[in-house]
A and B are shown apart, each in its own frame.
Chain A
Amino acid sequence: AQKITQTQPGMFVQEKEAVTLDCTYDTSDPSYGLFWYKQPSSGEMIFLIYQGSYDQQNATEGRYSLNFQKARKSANLVISASQLGDSAMYFCAMRGLYNQGGKLIFGQGTELSVKP
């Protein structure tokens, strides 16, 4: 079975500061991928960053980095130097790559508000 949990329904951050969005997961699959997506108020789903379970280094994409702690089963998203345009819903997702047949599931989401 797979499960993704995001425990922060809403977060506030001051513009130009860094913010961490939490994500924990559970899976029996020995190989899996972890993703973060952004959903602005317009509704589209925007891919941000990917981490494979066997990747040795934490993934980074511009201002986004993924703090991957495999033993703790956590995959937190760090956004550095927040911008007003970062205000959106953020979803953590997991895809089982071995036993789960590619099934992709999402967490409940965190609504991030960036204050000027």
Chain B
Amino acid sequence: NAGVTQTPKFRILKIGQSMTLQCAQDMNHNYMYWYRQDPGMGLKLIYYSVGAGITDKGEVPNGYNVSRSTTEDFPLRLELAAPSQTSVYFCASSRGIRDGNLEAFFGQGTRLTVV
């Protein structure tokens, strides 16, 4: 049982480059989330999704895009990388509100450095 899988684990980008952070879950969860965590800080919600085809902005969406074409996958796209996007990125998933056990399950994180 893999849970939530994020790839890559580490990445160094140059300013202006683009990349996609991959996130996949095998628990058939409707809800998926992307967070960023700056050093010594809490998790800030970037985007979230309540199901395939539905996404919504979180607290810090600028500079990012997402898509949700399947229940399993929720990729995060950085179009023009900036040093301010240097952070650790976490993907998470959780069950629907009526399904009980509402805790989110997290991936191991992606450490991204923009130079």
A104 touching B94 in the complex, CB below 8 Å, given contacts A33-B102, A50-B102, A95-B102? yes
A104 touching B56 in the complex, CB below 8 Å, given contacts A47-B103, A95-B102? no
A44 to B108, CA, bound (A): 6
A28 to B59, CA, bound (A): 17
| Stretch from B37-45, B69-77, B78-86 at the A interface | B37-45
Please name all residues of chain A whose beta carbon is closer than 8 Å to the beta carbon of B104 when the two chains form the complex. Answer: 35, 45, 47, 93, 95, 104
A103 adjacent to chain B (CB < 8 Å): yes
**Does A103 lie within 8 Å of B45, measured CB to CB?**
yes
**Does B108 lie within 8 Å of A102, measured CB to CB?**
no
Number of interface residues of A (CB under 8 A): 22
Please name all residues of chain A whose beta carbon is closer than 8 Å to the beta carbon of B33 when the two chains form the complex. Answer: 104
Looking at the assembled complex, report how far the CB atom of A22 sits from the nearest CB atom of chain B, in whole angstroms.
14
A107 touching B108 in the complex, CB below 8 Å, given contacts A33-B102, A43-B88, A102-B31? no
A97 adjacent to chain B (CB < 8 Å): yes
Identify which of residues 62-116 in chain A touch chain B, using a CB-to-CB cut-off of 8 Å: 91, 93, 95, 97, 101-109
Looking at the assembled complex, report how far the CB atom of B45 sits from the nearest CB atom of chain A, in whole angstroms.
6
A43 touching B109 in the complex, CB below 8 Å, given contacts A50-B103, A106-B43? yes
Please name all residues of chain A whose beta carbon is closer than 8 Å to the beta carbon of B2 when the two chains form the complex. Answer: none
A105 to B47, CA, bound (A): 11
A107 to B35, CA, bound (A): 12
**Does B108 lie within 8 Å of A106, measured CB to CB?**
no
A35 to B104, CA, bound (A): 9
